[in-house]
Amino acid sequence: MDIENYADIGFNFILCDDIGDQQQIYTGRGWKFAGAHCKSYNKQSL
């Protein structure tokens, strides 16, 4: 984020596969903010 001069992470949620095949969901920007990764779809999809 610092290198690209971003104010926040670009994703609303982050899905990760951890060791042992356990998936984790982390909150990025959350529900209240539009994700920066797909601006043209922000109002019609997750």
Per DSSP, the residues of 1-46 read: -TTTT-SS-S-SEEEEEETTTEEEEEESS-SSS--TT-GGGTTT--
Residue 24: its pLDDT value, please?
Answer: 86
Residue 21: its pLDDT value, please?
Answer: 74
Backbone angles phi, psi at 39, to 5 degrees: -55, -35
45: Cβ–Cβ under 8 A, 6 or more apart, which residues? 38
Tens digits of per-residue pLDDT, 10-40? Answer: 788 888 887 777 788 888 888 887 766 666 6
Residue 41: its pLDDT value, please?
Answer: 63
| CB-based burial, 2-21: b 16+ in 10 Å, e otherwise | eeeeeeebeebeeeeeeeee
Residue 18: its pLDDT value, please?
Answer: 73
Say yes or no to pLDDT of 46 above 60: no
